[in-house]
Amino acid sequence: MKFGTKLIHTGHEMDKSTGSLSFPIYHGSTFHQEDIDQPREYDYARSGNPTRKALEETIALLEGGDHGYAFSSGMAATSSVLSILSAGDHILVCEDVYGGTYRISNNYFRRFHMDITFINATDLDEVKNQIKSTTKAIFLETPSNPLLKITDIKSVVKLAQEHGLLVFIDNTFMSPYLQRPLELGVDAVIHSASKFLGGHSDIIGGLVVVKDMALAKRVYAVQNGFGAILGPQDCWLLLRGMKTLKVRMDYQQKNAVKLAEWLTRQEEVSHVYYPGLENHPGRDIHFAQADGPGAVLSFTTRDRERAKKFMKTVQLAAVAVSLGGVETIVSYPVKMSHASMPVQERERLGITDNLIRVSVGLEEIDDLIADFKRALTI
Ligand code: PLP
């Protein structure tokens, strides 16, 4: 079955008992047990809930995994995966991860004596050189946030397997439609489902998918133990939103290609970061591991003043954090997603005060370009 068909025929497209084409929302927090010696599948909704299970099985199917887990946010998903590790474990984290991942790695997990090294994961020699006897896992995000840097997933997995390490990846920017890291040997895929999976800027959620049973048990122990689960109403919203993932992504990606190409020709724009552009570093690697460039791009303006003016005067796009919704969203990483990163670190990475990130939406591209043109030249 092809991906677009899978999105509609997940095994949960219908409520088997009534024929309803919308999966029921089970609000029950607890479940009556007819026989205490024969417990039912569900007992308490932190441990399991039928609507959540439908979502968890759906994302597992789409990612090509065996076990899915739904969390109350993308950060809850990331934190829960990192929480399967222990004090003293060393983790390599790619240096331009989402700002929130950077923040919890630095400010939280280090307090629990996890040893964290930020690395440029696009440089395989650096990855290799940073592995030590206590290293247990590598955390990747590709394309990265916000500079769309590309990491060679297969090569990192090979290195990791040689050293017995786990590989986790934040697949939020791509979604399983464009990139399925488990097929490349990654151990756990993480999503902020608040983005392309939900698709309508109306839900905060996180998802994790793994293949290996032993790893699944470790993730489930944290999900059930910490309890950062996604509620049934939000599970349903996500199940609904995901049905249109392919059509949304196809259209948004087409728009993003056109917008990126147009931006490269603008005098006020000094650089465009987008894997869909011919000169984007790592483009060939990206297209060997993903089925499209996605719908997120970043660009720099000639200077900070122009970037600020653009953010003030752009009209069609929402000025907001987040991405992946039906509406175009522009964000200013220095003050938004990466505000918690020290200035020197940001500047070293190229996250400068003239950088703007764009999540391209479903508007007509001519209208978007006209709006961007006005905001770049006003
Ligand atoms: N990963 C990426 C790539 C993100 O962009 C975000 C949020 O912006 C997150 C993780 C965190 O997800 P959430 O906001 O759902 O906690």
Question: Each residue of 138-158: pLDDT tens digit?
Answer: 999 999 989 999 999 999 999
For residue 193, the ligand 1 atom closest to its alpha carbon is 15
Answer whether 170 contacts ligand 1 (Cβ < 6 A). Answer: yes
pLDDT given for residue 100 in this prediction: 92
Confidence category of residue 338, pLDDT binned at 50, 70, 90: confident
Helix (H) or strand (E) holding 289: helix 283-289
Handedness of CA 211, 80, 160, 348 (dihedral sign): positive
| Choice among 69, 98, 102, 220 that is catalytic | 98
Q: What domains can you pick out in the chain, each with its CATH number?
A: 3-242 (3.40.640.10), 245-377 (3.90.1150.10)
Mean pLDDT lowest among 26-40, 93-107, 164-178, 225-239: 93-107
Tell me how far CA of residue 235 lies from CA of 51, 238, 267, 315, 360, in angstroms. 6, 5, 45, 32, 25
Confidence category of residue 340, pLDDT binned at 50, 70, 90: confident
pLDDT given for residue 89 in this prediction: 98
Active site residue 180: no
Q: Is the pLDDT of residue 96 over 90?
A: no
Q: Tokens 């007992």 identify what position? A: 43
What are the residues facing 142 on neighbouring strands? Answer: none
Provide φ and ψ at 193, rounded to 5°: -75, -5
Confidence category of residue 337, pLDDT binned at 50, 70, 90: confident
Residues 6+ apart with CB under 8 A from 252: 295, 360, 361, 362
Helix (H) or strand (E) holding 190: strand 188-192
pLDDT given for residue 66 in this prediction: 98
Average pLDDT over residues 109-123: 97
Confidence category of residue 27, pLDDT binned at 50, 70, 90: very high
By most ligand atoms within 8 Å of CB, the mutation choice from 98, 108, 341 for ligand 1 is 98
pLDDT given for residue 371 in this prediction: 98
Answer whether 142 contacts ligand 1 (Cβ < 6 A). Answer: no
Q: What is the rounded distance in angstroms from the CA atom of residue 338 to the CA atom of residue 194?
A: 18
Q: What percent of the chain has pLDDT over 70?
A: 100
pLDDT given for residue 197 in this prediction: 98
Answer whether 325 contacts ligand 1 (Cβ < 6 A). Answer: no
- Choose among 301, 305, 311: nearest CA to 355: 301
pLDDT given for residue 329 in this prediction: 98
Mean pLDDT lowest among 45-59, 228-242, 297-311, 326-340: 326-340
Answer whether 75 contacts ligand 1 (Cβ < 6 A). Answer: yes
Angle at alpha carbon of residue 313, lines to 264 and 346, rounded to 5°: 60
pLDDT given for residue 171 in this prediction: 98
| Choice among 89, 96, 152, 170 that is catalytic | 170
Ligand 1 atom 11, closest CA: 74
Ligand 1 atom 14, closest CA: 74
Average pLDDT over residues 235-254: 98
Average pLDDT over residues 205-224: 98
Average pLDDT over residues 265-283: 98
pLDDT given for residue 341 in this prediction: 83
Mean pLDDT lowest among 8-22, 67-81, 235-249, 338-352: 338-352
Residues 6+ apart with CB under 8 A from 348: none
Active site residue 195: yes
By most ligand atoms within 8 Å of CB, the mutation choice from 72, 73, 75, 234 for ligand 1 is 75
Active site residue 170: yes
CA of 206 relative to ligand 1 center, distance in Å: 8
For residue 204, the ligand 1 atom closest to its alpha carbon is 15
Answer whether 175 contacts ligand 1 (Cβ < 6 A). Answer: no
Answer whether 81 contacts ligand 1 (Cβ < 6 A). Answer: no
Active site residue 98: yes
Q: What is the rounded distance in angstroms from the CA atom of residue 346 to the CA atom of residue 352?
A: 7
pLDDT given for residue 24 in this prediction: 97
Average pLDDT over residues 233-238: 98
Ligand 1 atom 15, closest CA: 74
Average pLDDT, the chain: 97
**Which DSSP string corresponds to 207-257?**
EEEE--HHHHHHHHHHHHHH--BPPHHHHHHHHHHHTTHHHHHHHHHHHHH
Q: What percent of the chain has pLDDT over 90?
A: 96
